[in-house]
């Protein structure tokens, strides 16, 4: 019994490591400051310049790590970012400011990639998509995965007219080129900013299918994270959860996914994604 | 219908509670408060006519709530486990027990 959980857990972590390694190394040329800074400002406000918005801390303007002005394309996002700065206590904890970091990434583009490269990086996750890999070993887990994940595969196949299937082999399912193209075309209709959100979501969830379902409002953030960690959930339900590992991971993942999906939604405008027709 | 209304109200309340908790004071004068109230009010009447728009707003609000809540939970967990896991003695104390004194010559 314990052998089987070890095997299945290590399979999942191995897959996560493999997927993680394809992730570009961000912040290559940018100095990072890990030291926590004291809160040096009192009031946070936003100011409009032209069509975009900036964040003011007292009278100073917030800049990105590369020294550019933090310019945000719309008001709701600016308010959310300003709220992050306003919510800091005596110490500025930058690791809690997910929306600010997403804006920084979008403005600085630290990995210096163009849109095509970003789209390719996102679609790379399709080859090792979490919901496409099934374990047969504990039959209950197999049944759970079939019940929970199959509806999503049906949904994406119907919604985007693609062919994504599941597999129990280590090599994974065959993804036809047409599917890659269709999903790539869909991603191309998004702005660079929205793609930053997509890429962050996909690298958290390790699944293109779950990311699309989340962005299309088919799933909520909590559901998406649970589905992404389905095997962990199954094993912790059986063997017990460890707060400093499992609960911390889930909370962190939820925060990151929520931030990235909110970011994409806010920069995509209010009536964008849902009106698109699937590209034939 | 009243059921969904109730859920919407609950969502708004949770959002405001999170904002209050993280600031440790009333969120009434913040920008986020104004924006949230405005959005919830605006979409109140049209919810049945423009179902999608309303759902979109609710989805966004739920996402934001999840962001605020998870960030707070994550910080709280980090604060607890910053210095590693609890020792055996601390765990025993949690349930009102004490470790026996080690034997000394």
* Cβ neighbours for A218, distance < 8 A, ≥ 6 positions apart: A152, A155
Number of Cβ atoms within 10 Å of the Cβ of B19: 23
Structure token digits, residue A139: 């039959």
CA A221 – CA A227 distance, rounded (Å): 10
In chain A, DSSP finds a helix count (H) and a strand count (E) of 11, 6
The answer to whether B51 contacts chain A (CB < 8 Å) is no
Q: Which residue has the higher pLDDT, A207 or B38?
A: A207
Tell whether the model's pLDDT for residue B49 goes beyond 60: no
CA A46 – CA A62 distance, rounded (Å): 10
- Residues A280, A161: contact at Cβ < 8 Å? yes
Residue at B6 is within a domain: yes
Among partner residues B56, B71, B77, which is closest to A270 by beta-carbon distance? B56
Residue at B37 is within a domain: yes
Residue at B100 is within a domain: no
Number of Cβ atoms within 10 Å of the Cβ of A13: 12
Q: What is the DSSP pairing of strand A44-49 with strand A52-57?
A: antiparallel
Chain A hits for B81, Cβ within 8 Å: 243-244, 248
pLDDT of residue A190: 93
Average pLDDT of the residues in B31-56: 73
Chain A hits for B75, Cβ within 8 Å: 93, 96
B23 secondary structure, DSSP code: H
| Chain B nearest-CA residue for A80 | B32
Q: Which of residues 61-100 of B touch A (CB under 8 A)?
A: 62-64, 66-67, 70-71, 73-75, 77-78, 80-81, 85
Residue at B99 is within a domain: no
B30 secondary structure, DSSP code: S
pLDDT of residue B75: 92
Residue at B18 is within a domain: yes
pLDDT of residue B24: 78
- Residues A278, A161: contact at Cβ < 8 Å? yes
Q: Closest by alpha carbon to A257, among A240, A80, A219? A: A219
Average pLDDT of the residues in B67-92: 88
CA A65 – CA A125 distance, rounded (Å): 28
Instruction: Residue B67: give the domain boundaries.
Output: 2-94
Residue at B25 is within a domain: yes
Residue at B105 is within a domain: no
Please give the domain boundaries of chain A with CATH numbers for all domains.
Answer: 2-20+113-275 (1.10.3580.10), 37-108 (3.30.2180.10)
A76-88: buried (b, 16+ CB within 10 Å) or exposed (e) per residue? bbbbbbbbbbbbb
| Chain A nearest-CA residue for B66 | A258
The parts of chain A modelled with pLDDT lower than 50 are 1-11, 13-31, 271-276
The number of distinct structural domains making up chain B is: 1
Structure token digits, residue A182: 């269709």
One-character DSSP codes across A18-58: HHHHTS---SSSS----SPEEP--S-EEEEEETTEEEEEET
Structure token digits, residue A185: 């075309």
Residue at B9 is within a domain: yes
User: Is the reported ipTM for this assembly greater than 0.85?
Assistant: no
- Residues A196, A106: contact at Cβ < 8 Å? yes
pLDDT band at B2 (very low <50, low <70, confident <90, very high): low
pLDDT of residue A170: 82
pLDDT of residue A26: 44
pLDDT of residue B26: 83
């Amino acid at each position: 019994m314990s052998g089987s959980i070890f095997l299945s857990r290590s399979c999942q972590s191995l897959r996560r490591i493999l997927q993680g390694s394809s992730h570009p190394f961000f912040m290559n040329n940018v100095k990072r400051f890990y030291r926590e800074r004291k809160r040096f400002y009192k009031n946070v406000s936003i100011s409009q310049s032209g069509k975009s918005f900036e964040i003011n801390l007292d009278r100073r303007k917030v800049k990105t790590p590369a020294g550019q002005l933090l310019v945000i394309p719309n008001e709701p996002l600016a308010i959310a970012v300003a709220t992050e700065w306003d919510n800091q206590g005596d110490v500025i904890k930058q690791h809690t400011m997910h929306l600010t970091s997403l804006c920084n990434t979008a403005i600085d583009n630290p990995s210096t990639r163009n849109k095509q490269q970003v789209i390719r990086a996102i679609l790379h996750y399709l080859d090792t998509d979490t919901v496409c890999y099934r374990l047969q070993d504990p039959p209950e887990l197999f049944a759970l995965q079939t019940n929970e994940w199959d509806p999503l595969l049906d949904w994406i196949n119907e919604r985007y007219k693609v062919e994504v299937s599941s597999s129990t082999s280590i090599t994974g399912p065959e993804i036809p080129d047409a599917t890659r193209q269709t999903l790539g075309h869909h991603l191309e209709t998004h702005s660079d900013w929205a793609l930053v959100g997509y890429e962050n979501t996909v690298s958290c969830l390790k699944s293109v299918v779950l990311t699309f379902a989340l962005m299309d409002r088919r799933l909520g953030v909590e559901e998406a994270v649970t589905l992404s960690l389905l095997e962990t959930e199954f094993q912790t339900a059986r063997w017990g959860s460890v707060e400093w590992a499992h609960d911390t991971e889930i909370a962190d993942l939820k925060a990151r996914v929520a931030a990235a999906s909110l970011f994409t939604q806010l920069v995509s405008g209010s009536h964008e994604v849902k009106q698109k027709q699937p590209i034939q | 219908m009243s059921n969904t209304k109730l859920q919407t109200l609950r969502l708004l309340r949770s959002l405001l509670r999170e904002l209050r908790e993280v600031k440790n004071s009333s969120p009434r004068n913040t920008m986020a408060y104004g924006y949230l109230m405005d959005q919830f009010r605006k979409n109140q009447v049209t919810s049945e006519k423009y179902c999608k728009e309303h759902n979109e707003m609710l989805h966004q609000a739920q996402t934001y709530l999840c962001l605020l809540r998870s960030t707070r939970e994550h910080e709280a967990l980090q604060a607890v486990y910053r210095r590693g896991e609890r020792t055996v003695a601390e765990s025993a104390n949690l349930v009102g027990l004490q470790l026996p004194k080690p034997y000394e010559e």
